[in-house]
């Protein structure tokens, strides 16, 4: 693989276990249609003493195919920490991250890449126009986005937490991301807006989660909202 990486894709693999095998192969197949020089970073950070086999699985994937890089560290945070670990290791001119649970369509990465390559935008992302993950998750997301719009009306994103998100490298480096929890998506969009970075959103269909229960629940949403209020107060 070339040292000049055009695109880095960071895949959040926490708890994915064997399901990450077909996901990673389908992801490589999709990206290779549009990009010659790319890398896929599989982030399998883990809770110590847990029975999660994801770190061993992604290490084996990386050993068998140099397109993949495996990163597995004892967790020092939640989703945001995993994102930061992956983004900081990425070498591409464009950097993308996505959940590895299959709910976001893999081909949306190609659409993000083609759009950001036009040079018109510093960040490209999706919004979930259709959802198959149930009324409860849809309702929680709706409430969160409404609260976000009230507190941060200048940020015009339709769906703050939707992925994939792809940045130009210079934009990523300016964001200086700090949050270690679920708030990192909001931090990205707030800082993108404050830096006057032009971004683009397009609709996708969000699939039902298979194989495990969602990590997002009512407590997660309440954490989101607490963080929104705290950020608003501390960044006046």
For the stretch 149-208, pLDDT in tens is 999 999 999 999 999 999 999 999 999 999 998 899 999 999 999 999 999 999 999 998
Number of structural domains the chain divides into: 1
Judge whether 133 lies within some domain.
yes
- Strand, coil or helix: 205: strand
Domain containing 69 equals 7-234
Cβ atoms within 10 Å, residue 8: 24
Judge whether 46 lies within some domain.
yes
Judge whether 187 lies within some domain.
yes
What's the longest Cα–Cα distance across the chain? Answer: 50
Judge whether 1 lies within some domain.
no
Residue-level pLDDT at 168: 98
Judge whether 57 lies within some domain.
yes
Counting residues of the chain whose pLDDT is more than 70, the rounded percentage is 94
Report how far residue 87's alpha carbon sits from residue 84's, in angstroms, rounded to the nearest whole number. Answer: 5
User: 1 pLDDT band (50/70/90 cuts)?
Assistant: very low
Judge whether 155 lies within some domain.
yes
- First-to-last C-alpha distance (Å) of the chain: 46
Judge whether 2 lies within some domain.
no
* Residue 49 vs residue 221, higher pLDDT: 49
Alpha-carbon Rg for the chain, nearest whole angstrom, is 17
Task: Provide the strand spans (E) within the chain.
Answer: 7-12, 38-43, 68-71, 94-99, 123-131, 165-168, 199-206
Residue 152 belongs to domain with CATH number: 3.90.550.10
**pLDDT, tens only, 181-197:** 889 999 999 999 999 99
Judge whether 58 lies within some domain.
yes
pTM of the model: 0.92
Residue 43 pairs with which residues in a beta bridge?
12, 71
User: 236 pLDDT band (50/70/90 cuts)?
Assistant: low
């Amino acid at each position: 693989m070339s040292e000049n990486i055009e695109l880095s894709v960071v895949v959040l693999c926490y708890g994915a276990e064997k399901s990450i095998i077909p996901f990673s192969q389908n992801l490589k197949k999709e990206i290779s249609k549009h990009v010659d020089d790319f890398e896929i970073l599989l982030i399998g950070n883990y809770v110590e003493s847990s029975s999660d086999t994801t770190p061993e699985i992604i290490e084996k994937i990386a050993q068998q195919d140099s397109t993949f890089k495996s990163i597995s560290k004892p967790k020092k945070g939640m989703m945001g920490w995993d994102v930061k670990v992956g983004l900081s290791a990425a070498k591409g001119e464009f950097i993308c991250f996505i959940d590895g649970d299959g709910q976001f369509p893999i081909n949306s990465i190609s659409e993000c890449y083609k759009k950001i390559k036009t040079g018109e935008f510093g960040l490209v992302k999706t919004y979930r126009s259709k959802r198959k993950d149930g009324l409860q998750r849809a309702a929680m997301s709706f409430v969160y986005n409404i609260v976000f719009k009230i507190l941060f009306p200048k940020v015009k994103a339709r769906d703050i937490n939707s992925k994939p998100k792809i940045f130009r490298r210079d934009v990523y480096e300016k964001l200086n991301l700090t949050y270690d929890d679920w708030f990192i998506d909001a931090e990205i969009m707030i800082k993108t807006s404050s830096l006057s970075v032009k971004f683009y959103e397009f609709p996708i269909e969000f699939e039902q989660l298979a194989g495990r229960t969602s990590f997002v629940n009512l407590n997660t949403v309440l954490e989101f909202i607490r963080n929104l209020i705290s950020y608003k107060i501390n960044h006046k």
